[in-house]
Structure 1
Amino acid sequence: MNNLTPLSPLLVAFIETTVFGFLIGLEWHSYRRASQRDLGFGTTRTFTLLAILGLALVVIDPTFIAYSVGLLVIGALFALEYWNRLQSQDNHLLGTLIALIAYTLGPLSLHGPLWLPLLFVIVVLLLLGDKPGIRRFSDAFRHEEAGTLVKFFIMAGVILPLLPNQEIAPFISVTWYQVWLAVLVVSAISYLSYLAQTYFSRHGAYY
């Protein structure tokens, strides 16, 4: 039995870019229709072609010079389009930001692992698809929670990497790093439980 010939990495990247760009464009179109107002440019075809353009420029010039020039040109066009919308008191930037994300899908699909562009797409789809839920959560979120998150990030991103990965004592086969990591895990579980009860339970502020 003959083995199937694997697809070319370039073809795989093209398929990924096209599908991901199409999904983002589809969700953006649905978001605009649900909002029932003009949120700037962008259709399903626009986002799909924009994603393919980013891939094509990287393939043509692997040094990313053409891609960077394309980014500057697209950025200038976006700036002009945004300036025109400001004249009519429309300051929405969401469509522009999502278009820039679509433009990056090509290089991510070609040079990165599959999960990376997929993660971008999932985040965009979630942010666009659950606007009412995000709005309720934003309204219910207390400013004190930001301070708590900052403290946790300091514990995880600053203190943890500085701790030595060596045993506390000869008779204790546990390192300072492992102890602090355990503290972080327990703290994270406790804080997530608090957030779930405070904002996402039936009696929480989210509802």
Structure 2
Amino acid sequence: MVQEWLALIPNIDLWSRFALALALGALVGLEREYAQQHVAPAPASFAGIRTFPLIALLGALSAFTADLFDMPSFFAVGFGGLAVLVGVSYVRRLGDERGEGITTEVAILLTFLFGGLTYREQGEIASALTVIMTMLLSLRRSLHDLARNLTRDDLLATLQFALITVVILPLLPNRALDPFGVLNPYRIWLLVVFISGLSFGGYVAIKLFGAGRALWLMGLLGGIVSSTATTLTFAGRSHDNPALSPAFASAILLASTVVFPRTLILLALIAPELFWLSLPFLGSLFIVGLLTSFALMFWYRPGKEERQLQLQNPLNLIDAVKFAAMFTAVLFLVDVSETYFGNAGLYITSIIAGFTSTSATVLSLANLASLGNIPASTALIAILLAILSNILSKAFLAASLGARAMRRPVLLGFGIFFIANVIALASALSLAR
């Protein structure tokens, strides 16, 4: 019924493009208006909730007029006129406000271009770019704080991440180089880039927003970087303040809980069939992990004390190469074990590899499952075995390296993890029969 009514409106497609341009301009204008009202002292309003929608509409109308009169240069003239107007306004404001930036001026010019894109039936691109620009505008203070607190190691790690992503990756051959058909350099490095990006994103989140006042939040963010590194960090810090041991244990368990959704994300991107098969098992383990971690959190609350998590920057080129070597070795061993020793060899390899890292094992198994080299049910069992051995490894590290007061809560929590994982493993084995 709605579609029938819309069909009766003349030029509904054209009107919808203009409406989208207004909406995108309003989004940017809302952010600029809010920013101007929350700066002390409040600057003179230059462009806000009314001006930005009009600028976006101007961009759409300029593109429309250029088509209507067959004058392609009309859009460029409109953009140039707006640029001159913005420049004059900026020069006038410089006399009143020293050190004034050009962020709003650039946003105005971009909004005009986004409006032109909406008329050219590029609404998805215009919408995505508008949201990205608005997010950058709204994160002004956080980004400035991040830049001020940036260290040389942080900058070097950022450049190294760019190096392995946009320089090395395109140079690698996208074909298998071994008789088993599993060692594809491009695909292997693409997974390395994704894992590095996941860890680097978690590190940036900690640097950008802070670890917060609650240790469990620090454990959550630390688990994105590395659950093993978080376990070692909190185990060592528990000796400095044994009274916080239950809280440290909760943070360690929460960091380990992040393994389950992180694994599901990897599977969804690499092997969708394996993702849907694993979702009930890993989803249930994730819920058990959350409940266990929160139970320990309420057992001991650290109060209002601010406690910062200090993590080393997780990314450098050496770490990326090491992970690539580990992933390649695990991938090769898993495939060879399955070829010559059947499922038993595959499971043993997964258990051994899981003691050091689940990421390489999961990536290897997901890669093999996506290629059809192993059944999805077999890959699921191997993943659960790797996670099981990883749980035992972190339980040993936390209990042996942590304070005496942390042993009981951390072993209790990991014990619940272990039992839940065994139940999930038994269910997966029965499903595979």
TM-score between the two structures when normalised by the length of structure 2:
0.43
CA apart distance, 1:123: 2.5
Q: What is the alpha-carbon distance in structure 2 between the residues aligned to residue 46 and residue 198 of structure 1?
A: 35
- 1:5-61 deviation line (CA, Å, top 9, x unaligned): 557332221110011112211221121111142266213222111111110010111
- Do 2:14 and 2:119's aligned partners in 1 also have CA atoms closer than 8 Å? yes
Structure having the higher helix fraction is 2
Which residue of 1 is the match for residue 172 of structure 2? Answer: 163
CA distance in 2, matches of 1:2, 1:51: 28
- Does residue 14 (structure 1) correspond to residue 18 (structure 2)? The answer is yes
Q: Secondary structure at the match of 2:182?
A: strand
Aligned-residue Cα RMSD (Å) equals: 2.6
Q: 1:191 aligns with which of 197, 200, 206?
A: 200
What is the CA distance between 1:162 and its match in structure 2? 1.7
- 1:145 and 2:154 equivalent? yes
Q: Secondary structure at the match of 1:41?
A: coil
Summarize the Cα distance change of 1:141–1:177 in structure 2 as closer, same or farther, 3 Å threshold: same
After superposing the two structures, state which structure 1 stretch, 49-58 or 30-39, moved more. Answer: 30-39
CA contact (8 A) 2:175 2:185 kept: yes
Q: Identity percentage over the alignment?
A: 22
Work out the number of aligned pairs and report it.
205
Q: Is the 8 Å Cα contact of residues 25 and 42 (structure 1) preserved in structure 2?
A: yes
**Residue number among 53, 56, 59 corresponding to 2:61 in the alignment:** 56
> Which residue number in structure 2 is paired with residue 119 of structure 1?
128
Letter in 2 for 1:9: D
**1:44 corresponds to 2:49:** yes
Q: Conserved in 1, the CA contact under 8 Å of 2:146 and 2:207?
A: no
Q: Flag the 1:126–1:204 CA change in 2: closer, same or farther, 3 A.
A: farther
| 1:138-196 Cα deviation digits (max 9, x unpaired) | 33222432222122112111221121111112333331111111221222223233334
- Cα 1:140/1:39, change in 2 over 3 Å: farther
CA distance in 1, matches of 2:161, 2:151: 16
Say yes or no: does 1:73 pair with 2:81: yes
Of 188, 192, 213, which residue of structure 2 is paired with 1:179? 188
In structure 1, give the amino acid aligned to 2:61. A
Which has the higher Rg, Structure 1 or Structure 2?
Answer: 2
Q: Are 2:29 and 2:53, in contact at CA under 8 Å, matched by a contact in 1?
A: yes
Provide the rounded CA distance (Å) in 2 between the counterparts of 1:160 and 1:110.
36
User: Following the alignment from structure 2 to structure 1, what is the Cα–Cα distance between the partners of residues 103 and 2?
Assistant: 49
* Paired position in structure 2 for 1:107: 116
Secondary structure of the structure 1 residue equivalent to 2:159: helix
8 Å contact from structure 1 (residues 39, 92) kept in 2 = no
Q: CA 1:75 to 1:204, structure 2 compared with 1: closer, same or farther past 3 Å?
A: farther
2:150, 2:84 → 1: CA distance? Answer: 36
Q: Secondary structure at the match of 2:156?
A: helix
By how many angstroms is 1:79 displaced?
1.6
Question: How far does residue 198 in structure 1 lie from its aligned partner after superposition?
Answer: 4.7
Within 2, Cα distance between the matches of 1:114 and 1:89? 36
Specify whether residues 190 and 47 from structure 1 end up closer, same or farther in structure 2 by C-alpha distance, changes over 3 A only: closer
Where does structure 2 lack aligned partners over 5 or more consecutive residues?
213-307, 311-433
The one-character-per-residue Cα deviations of 1:76-133 (angstroms, maximum 9, x if unpaired) are: 1222222222233433212211111211121222235433222233223323434443
Change (3 A) 1:47 1:72: same
* Residue 30 of structure 1 pairs with residue 34 of structure 2: yes
Unaligned stretches of 5+ residues in structure 1: none
